[in-house]
């Protein structure tokens, strides 16, 4: 085999390996759906209470970061959930084009029959760039943007989705406040919201 053919074969092999690696990192809707089921429990806290907790945490423990006073919800930790990094324009709630594929995968998961009727919290988190009060507002706008995208164009039932912005009040890596892992979206299954009758009619679960 000629040298240039060997180089081509090696290059092709590396390209295919890289393509496979990229494919493996893409969100899988079945993986998301399976992560959001299996825990038959409800969250007693409402989305409004969570939003207020974040605001109160900034007021009660002022400072440049929330380290030492991060919000913790043991009951939420027991619920089925999935965390994903969605890219936004800097300081904006505009979802970057490369992340719409991930939003679509989330929508596909929420359309899965195993999640039919379950309520989902869409919780936005930021890093420590910017003030804590600003980050709460930014994360709320971003969570709202994802909720709206899931509804239109992806057709998820608006009634099962609630958006909450927690800012930097729940850092995943408190020792590295600006780390990318802190910029994330958390999907939490908060329990059955809607039940269905024999003819398929939808009603609020008791």
User: Among residues 198, 196, 197, 172, which one has the least CA distance to residue 186?
Assistant: 172
Is there a contact between 107 and 154 (Cβ–Cβ < 8 Å)? yes
Write the secondary structure of 18-55 as one string of H (helix), E (strand) and C (coil): HHHHHHHHCCCHHHHHHHCCCCCCCCCCCHHHHHHHHH
pLDDT of residue 21: 34
Residue 33, number of CB atoms within 10 A of its CB: 20
Lowest mean pLDDT of 2-16, 93-107, 109-123, name the range.
Answer: 2-16
CA distance 189 to 116: 11
Burial class (CB in 10 A: 0-12, 13-18, 19+), 130: middle
Whether residue 5 is predicted with pLDDT greater than 50 in this model: the reply is no
Q: What percent of the chain has pLDDT over 90?
A: 74
The pTM of this model reads 0.84
Where does the pLDDT of residue 199 fall: very low under 50, low under 70, confident under 90, or very high at 90 and above? low
What are the pLDDT digits (tens) for 60-93?
A: 999 999 889 999 999 999 999 999 999 999 999 9
Per-residue model confidence (pLDDT) at position 39: 73
Q: What does the CA dihedral 8, 13, 18, 22 come to, rounded to 10 degrees? A: 120
pLDDT in tens, 22-61: 333 578 999 999 999 977 778 889 999 999 999 999 999 9
Q: Token pair for residue 198?
A: 């024999």
Half-sphere exposure of 132 (CA within 13 A, CB side): 21
Across the chain, the runs of DSSP E, i.e. the strands, are: 81-84, 118-125, 161-165, 184-192, 194-196, 202-204
Alpha helices in 120-162 (DSSP H): 132-151
Domains of the chain and any CATH numbers: 27-204 (3.30.1330.60)
Asked whether 165 and 91 are in contact (CB, 8 A), the reply is no
At 200 the pLDDT is 66
pLDDT tens by residue, 157-198: 999 999 999 999 999 999 999 999 999 999 999 998 877 766
């Amino acid at each position: 085999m000629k040298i240039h053919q060997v180089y081509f074969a090696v290059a092709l092999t590396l390209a295919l390996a890289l393509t496979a690696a990229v494919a493996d990192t893409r969100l899988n809707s079945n993986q998301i759906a399976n992560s959001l089921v299996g825990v038959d429990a409800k969250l007693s806290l409402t989305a409004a209470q969570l939003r207020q907790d974040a605001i109160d945490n900034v007021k009660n423990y002022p400072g440049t970061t929330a380290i030492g006073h991060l919000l913790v919800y043991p009951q939420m930790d027991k619920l089925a959930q999935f965390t994903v990094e969605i890219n936004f324009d800097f300081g904006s709630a505009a979802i970057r084009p490369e992340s719409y594929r991930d939003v679509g995968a989330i929508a596909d998961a929420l359309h899965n029959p195993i999640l039919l009727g379950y309520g989902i919290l869409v919780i936005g988190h930021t890093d420590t760039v910017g003030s804590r009060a600003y980050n709460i507002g930014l994360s709320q706008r971003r969570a709202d943007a994802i909720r709206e995208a899931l509804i239109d164009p992806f057709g998820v039932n608006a009634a099962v989705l609630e958006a909450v912005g927690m800012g930097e009040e729940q850092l995943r890596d408190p020792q590295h406040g600006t780390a990318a892992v802190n910029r994330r979206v958390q999907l939490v299954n908060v329990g059955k919201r809607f039940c269905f009758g024999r003819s398929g009619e939808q009603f609020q679960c008791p």
